[in-house]
Homo-oligomer: A and B are copies of this chain.
Amino acid sequence: MEDLAAPAPPSGGFTYLVATSQALGLAVILVLGAWIGVYRGGIAWESSELQFNIHPLCMIVGMVFLQGDALLVYRIFRNESKRSTKILHGLLHALALVIALVGLIAVFENHKKKNAPNMYSLHSWCGIAAFSFYLLQWLLGLVFFLCPGVSFSVRSRYKPQHVFFGVFLLILSITTSLLGIVELLLFKIRQVYSSLVPEEVLANILGLLLVAFGAALAYILTRDEWRRPPLAEELALSMDFKTLTEGESPAGPH
């Protein structure tokens, strides 16, 4: 009720930090593109050398940039209906999952072409865990928040878990990307790894940008005062729905 009484727009810091997060996200993609383009020969699905490069590109665009921005929609679209925001959130995650799947197929196909083994490294263990749980989280979100039969009370109890695991999976995806950067450098430029050659400087900067992107998003997502306040009609609607279904109060202040 407090939120309704004071539906103030988020403070100035919010807008600057969202802009910073987007600048960091774009910088991540540009630096990754430069690394792949300048030092790793670019991308090509049919080439056994260049097919691999589709993997980092798709995983970072999908599992980091799009996944991260999908989490931001509730903070950014504050005056649109909850349903439209939910659908945008779900669609961005779906797009992220499809792009990440292409990235996964690229690396598994490429390993097959080269007769290389799969799933031995910590990078691959963390990555497959992140992708599987991300898919599960998406399916659970679909069932809990878009199926009409689910009660207000069940949604309210699941929501904090969904939010926590959303941020956790973003962080796990970023950590996995960093492991991938180190692995790729040690596979490709082991001889000069200790000399801090320009390729390594670029790759390390990519790592730091990924950390900064994750930190900016996590900060925006965990500020209590930046939560999207319910619109007047949503609050009235959810009260009606609650009364109609079971008359319980929601578990958390979301």
Q: How distant is A194 from chain B, measured CB to nearest CB, in Å?
A: 5
Other-chain residue from B175, B194, B215, B219 in contact with A211 (beta carbon distance below 8 A): B175
Q: How distant is A116 from chain B, measured CB to nearest CB, in Å?
A: 7
Name the residue of chain B whose CB is nearest to the CB of A251: B225
* Interface size of A as a range: 35 or more
CA distance A223 to B252 in the complex (A): 9
Q: Report whether B208 and A125 are in contact in the complex, using a CB–CB cutoff of 8 Å.
A: yes
- A30 in contact (CB, < 8 A): no
- A41 in contact (CB, < 8 A): no
Q: How many copies does the complex hold?
A: 2
Q: Report whether A218 and B179 are in contact in the complex, using a CB–CB cutoff of 8 Å.
A: no
A212-253 residues with Cβ-Cβ distance < 8 A to B are 215, 218-219, 222-225, 252-253
Q: Report whether B182 and A121 are in contact in the complex, using a CB–CB cutoff of 8 Å.
A: yes
A184-207 residues with Cβ-Cβ distance < 8 A to B are 185-187, 190, 193-196, 200, 203-204, 207
Which residues on A are within 8 Å of B, measured CB to CB?
116-117, 120-123, 125-126, 129, 160, 164, 168, 171-172, 174-175, 178-179, 181-183, 185-187, 190, 193-196, 200, 203-204, 207-208, 211, 215, 218-219, 222-225, 252-253
Q: 18 A-B pairs, CB-CB below 8 angstroms? A: A117-B195, A120-B193, A120-B200, A121-B182, A121-B193, A121-B200, A122-B178, A123-B182, A125-B207, A126-B208, A126-B211, A164-B219, A175-B178, A178-B178, A178-B179, A179-B182, A182-B186, A186-B190
